[in-house]
Amino acid sequence: MNQPFTDRLTLHMPEQRHRDRLFELYADPRVWRDDPVTRHTTVDQTTQLIDRWRSAWERDGIGMWVASSSLPADHGELVGIGGCSIRHEVAWNLGFRLRPAY
């Protein structure tokens, strides 16, 4: 699969190599102020989330993306996540989370 990109973002299928940066995003209380129950408190939670995202891609051919910056000033920095998932085989769930700096 070609890696989608724009002038500002590059999208990656989630991989365990993204785990530490994703944990920072999912553990940040500023990101989860409106949904504190979803906030991660262990890296294992993030590892399992990545596994679920990858399973969704394999099963449905669609899922969550990891977005990183394509801008020269912060090239490769994690911006956030976004995408969609199929819930209970009947509904699409569109979601995203961005690091506060973005």
Whether residue 2 is contained in a domain is answered as: no
Predicted confidence at residue 46, as pLDDT, reads: 98
Amino acid 87: pLDDT: 82
Q: Does some domain include residue 1?
A: no
* d(C-alpha 60, C-alpha 16), whole Å: 20
Task: Read off the CATH number of the domain in which 75 is found.
Answer: 3.40.630.30
Domain count, the chain: 1
Query: Which residue has tokens 């394999």?
Result: 58
How far apart are the two ends of the chain, measured CA to CA in Å?
A: 27
Which residues on neighbouring strands pair with residue 84, listed in sequence order?
A: 94
**Domain containing 76: what range?**
9-98
Give pLDDT tens digits along the chain (102 positions): 566 777 889 999 999 999 999 999 999 999 999 999 999 999 999 999 999 999 999 999 989 999 999 888 878 899 999 999 888 888 888 999 999 988
Is residue 41 a part of any domain in this protein? yes
Residue 94 lies in a domain: yes
The pLDDT assigned to 2 comes to: 60
pTM of the model: 0.88
In a domain, 4, yes or no: no
